[in-house]
């Protein structure tokens, strides 16, 4: 399977790395606030980027770039993801993987094969509000919990992150997020930005003062809680 999107240079998506970002098409969630509507809803119409072209770029940029971000969609749905990551690793790049955590066994096998240096997993909401927040009638919370546990035990480095918006996040759900990731080292509470490219959109951001209060609620569960996207 080929990648379907490519941002050739990013200075902000992989901490301490000059990176290139590759997007997979398709996702098993339908988060209404998702900004990648076309990749998620119409994967068969997504662009196809020849793998050779990407490899050739990575070979030429070695020494200038040092990281590759794999995002989506949901990258763990890509059947030959491990092969692609192996090729990237062989070129000497560090790899960051973004995931929604729905496929813990794929995550585990990638980590055991030392194919990922940094994992960023979305924690969408408390267990009670998870299905609603991902736009589905139900969710496999065992899989989500297993991914959290695998990442905390086996990832060389990681972050959890939650995009917060007024309609679905409140003090109770934020405490629920703390329960899900109790003992984790890092969580970012990300500002929601509305866009015409969202699957649904039309939500409202949490004001900075309230987001700061949410972060304070999590300090007993997570070592480092930060806001992202707030000035």
The binding site for ligand SF4 (CB under 6 A) comprises 27, 29-31, 34, 36, 40, 72-74, 100
Cα(218)–Cα(3) distance, integer angstroms: 36
H-type alpha helices, 134-207 = 141-154, 171-180
**Cβ of residue 220: shortest distance to ligand SF4, in angstroms?**
27
Distances from the Cα of 54 to the Cα of 13, 23, 50, 83, 93, angstroms: 18, 12, 7, 14, 13
Looking at the Cβ atoms of 23 and 93, the one nearer to ligand SF4 is 23
Looking at the Cβ atoms of 65 and 123, the one nearer to ligand SF4 is 123
Looking at the Cβ atoms of 139 and 218, the one nearer to ligand SF4 is 139
Cα(201)–Cα(138) distance, integer angstroms: 20
**Cβ of residue 100: shortest distance to ligand SF4, in angstroms?**
4
**Cβ of residue 197: shortest distance to ligand SF4, in angstroms?**
11
Looking at the Cβ atoms of 31 and 123, the one nearer to ligand SF4 is 31
- Three-class secondary structure of residue 14 per DSSP: coil
**Cβ of residue 145: shortest distance to ligand SF4, in angstroms?**
17
Cβ-proximal residues to 117 (8 Å cutoff; 6+ apart), any chain: 94, 95, 96, 156, 157
């Amino acid at each position: 399977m080929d990648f379907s999107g490519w941002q050739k240079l990013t200075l902000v998506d992989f901490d301490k790395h000059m990176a290139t970002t590759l997007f997979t098409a398709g996702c098993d969630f339908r988060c209404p606030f998702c900004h990648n509507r076309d990749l998620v809803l119409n994967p068969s119409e997504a662009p196809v980027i020849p793998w050779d072209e990407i490899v050739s770029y990575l070979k030429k940029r070695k020494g200038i770039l040092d990281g590759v971000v794999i995002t989506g969609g949901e990258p763990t749905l890509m059947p030959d993801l491990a092969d692609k990551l192996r090729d990237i690793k062989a070129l000497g790049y560090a790899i960051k993987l973004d995931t929604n955590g729905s496929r813990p066994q794929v995550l585990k096998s990638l980590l055991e094969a030392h194919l990922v240096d940094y994992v960023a997993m979305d924690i969408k909401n408390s267990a009670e509000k998870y299905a609603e927040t991902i736009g589905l009638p139900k969710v496999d919370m065992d899989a989500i919990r297993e991914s959290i546990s695998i990442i905390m035990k086996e990832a060389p480095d990681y972050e959890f992150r939650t995009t917060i918006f007024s309609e679905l996040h409140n003090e109770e759900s934020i405490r629920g997020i703390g329960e899900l990731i109790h003992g984790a080292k890092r969580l970012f509470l990300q500002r929601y930005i509305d866009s015409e490219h969202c699957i649904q959109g039309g939500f409202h951001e949490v004001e900075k003062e309230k987001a700061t209060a949410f972060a304070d609620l999590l300090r007993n569960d997570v070592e480092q809680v930060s806001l992202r996207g707030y000035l």
